[in-house]
Amino acid sequence: MNNKISILIVDDEDSVRDSLFNWFIEDGYRVECAENAKIALLKLESDYFDIILVDIKMPGMDGMELLRRIKSLKNDAIVIIMTAFATVDTAVQALKDGAFDYITKPFDPDDLSHLIRNASKQISLAKENEVLKEKVVTLENIENIVGNSEAMKKVLQEVESVSQSNSSVIITGESGTGKELIAKAIHSNSSRKYFPLVSVHCGALTESLLESELFGHEKGAFTGAMYNRKGRFEMADNGTIFLDEIATISPKMQVELLRVLETKAFIRVGGNKEISSDFRVICATNRNLKQMVEEGNFREDLYYRLNVVNIQVPPLRERTGDIPLLTEYFIKKYCTSMNKPPIPIDSAALRRLEEFDFPGNIRELENMIERAIVIGNGKKISLKDLPFVKNTSNSSVESLYEQEKIHILQILTKYDWNISSSAKALKVDRVTLYNKIKKYNLKASDK
Amino acid sequence: MVLQKITLISFGDFDNFFLRSLSEKIYNEFSISIQIKEAHLDLSDFYNPMRRQYDANELLHYMEKQFAAEASKTIGLFNVDLFIPIFTYIFGQAFLGGRTGIASAYRLNNECYGIEADANLLLDRFAKELIHELGHTFGLIHCHVPDCVMRSGTYVEDIDQKNIMFCPSCKANLLKLD
């Protein structure tokens, strides 16, 4: 029933309203009537209509003014103007003001059928467009999760098994490990994949903003609420809602979220009508929620409601075997976006990447590769293109011997093996540097 | 309540053979007893001189008031040009899920379009229109199956394109609604 096209008929004549009402009801549409513009606006505030048929000549606010009001409230509303007193001027004005079409009373039944069919086609195209847009987003699915390591294989197996269920999922992992990609993969492999995946970054919003964002709001609910707005739960109907940084929500929001998860129904901010939505919840956090529950900072009942399935995304340092694949993936991604052919990375640079700790995980690696492609010579990514100088201390190398060797090699690489410049940077004389090169058996090809 | 009969009330000076043929075609679809009655009505009360047509809303309400009966679907058969205020013309109309309906043969006749009369074609079209309006009284809405008799038809050509029978889905709904 929800997929029925809905029509609002606005006309002051009973016979017109009744005739159209019966006609559309027989065609299987959901129909409501309003005898004047004021009642029509009230109905439009509380309900949604796909098509609005408006008579021009009505006592009080006329149809042309109503058309302008409707368009200012909802620009994509399909408004069809009806009149018994047709003039070219009013027809042109109605179309200029955004009417979908203009029809003269009495109508040929076939003309009305055609008009409604065209309007319905436009509505279904707009709906299809929305679904396709969402589908494009969901195409970022499992192919974008790069990795051959055992840790990632285990994660992908978990994704596969939870995708087919409707259970709530909590994805945990350090910042930058790709939790959102995992959520997208779950959604795009589920039966909900043709419906939206709606993401909400809970940490980025204040409590009141988050409430209005999640539940939507009615016009006038607060200062600046000029229009009715659907909330993310409503937008995620039949699809999935992804709540990122779930640990940051306030105790009040935790209570409200629990209620919505249990009833799948909510009321818009400032509204009084209960709205139902069929959604699946996937949450993500980089915090230890269990510990937060023990400390009293996160509701235990909400934790158990959300934590039906837990997927732990490993940090990059625990899957260093995936670094070459990830590097290749990001090189390809950024070279393509910059209209360049993919460039290679030299072995020393790759080795350094594999040795690095990556506290910022994959996001940090991605940024490094993007930076290297932007600032590099465009032929090859070498060690000097990677911002490692400040991070040497993070290296897993602990011996002084190795540290000195790596540091000297970095400086030599930085100055293109210019001995004078490198010695000056290292604050040693040229002879000392030659001796060190000999001692560590350093070669220009090592860079 | 079990539906006992369908009553066809002729106001249009249709001959007996034509009415019997209509009733057979209707019986084939509904399989319940069909009763034919003739009635006389001063149609001038329903005539709109501005439109030079007959007000179908008024006629339908008259039918409901005078002829509606429990356990029966009653449909008035006319041969005049019907209109409702919002449309230039209609072939017929009925109360959705109600007890009465009306239909007119006027615009189903080839002669209305300056073409030679065809009695069989008229019979076929009128039977489809009556079955369609009766379908509405049983609560059926318009169907999107191209050849279903419940498909909306706004031109006489639309009526010619559809079959004289319900599609399987409408038939199933009809049995459920009965």
Whether residue A19 and residue B86 make contact (CB cut-off 8 A), yes or no, is: yes
- Quick check: A139 pLDDT over 60? no
Q: What is the ipTM of this complex?
A: 0.78
pLDDT at A217: 85
How high is the pLDDT of residue A130?
A: 74
B57 touches chain A (CB under 8 A): yes
List CB contacts (< 8 A) between A22 and chain B: 93, 96
Chain A residues at the B interface, defined by Cβ less than 8 Å, are 13, 15-16, 18-20, 22-23, 25-28, 105-110, 112-113
Residue % of chain B over a pLDDT of 70: 97
Per cent of chain A over pLDDT 70 is 94
Using a CB–CB cutoff of 8 Å, tell me whether B33 touches chain A.
no
Q: Look-up: residue for tokens 């709109």?
A: B48
Q: How many CB atoms lie within 10 A of CB B33?
A: 13
Q: Is residue B133 annotated as a catalytic residue, yes or no?
A: yes
Please name the residue of chain A whose CA is at the shortest distance from the CA of residue B154. Answer: A110
The confidence score (pLDDT) of residue A142 equals 67
Q: Is B88 touching A (CB cutoff 8 A)? A: yes
Q: CA-nearest residue of chain B to A25? A: B141
Measured between CA atoms, the residue of chain A closest to residue B139 is A26
Q: Which of A212, A215, A202 is nearest to A306 (CA)?
A: A202
Q: What mean pLDDT comes out for the span B89-115?
A: 94
A108 vs B166, residue with greater confidence: B166
Q: Is the dihedral of CA A417, A419, A424, A426 positive or negative?
A: positive
Q: Is the pLDDT of residue A138 over 50?
A: no
- Concatenated DSSP letters of A126-185: HHHHHHHHHHHHHTSSGGGS---SHHHHHHHHHHHHHHTS---EEEE--TTS-HHHHHHH
Predicted confidence at residue B2, as pLDDT, reads: 66
Residues in chain A: 447
Q: Which residue has the tokens 């540091």?
A: A407
- Per-residue pLDDT, A80: 93
CB–CB contacts below 8 A, A to B: 54
Q: In this structure, are strands A6-10 and A51-55 parallel, antiparallel, or unpaired?
A: parallel
The closest of A36, A45, A30, A37 to A120, measured between CA atoms, is A30
Cβ-based contacts of B88 with chain A (< 8 Å): 106-109
Digit-coded pLDDT (tens) for A48-96: 899 999 999 898 899 999 999 998 888 888 999 998 876 778 888 888 8
Enumerate residues 116 to 175 of chain B having a beta carbon within 8 A of any beta carbon in chain A: 136, 141-142, 152, 154-155
Distance to chain A for B22, nearest Cα, Å: 24
**pLDDT interval class at A3 (50, 70, 90):** low
Query: pLDDT category, A395, cuts 50, 70, 90?
Result: low
Reply yes or no on whether the pLDDT at A351 is more than 80: yes
**Residues of chain B neighbouring A109 (CB-CB closer than 8 A):** 87-90, 154
**Contact assignment for A106 to B136 by CB distance below 8 Å:** no
Residue B49 pLDDT more than 90?
yes
* Mean pLDDT across chain A: 86
Across the range A330-341, mean pLDDT stands at 88
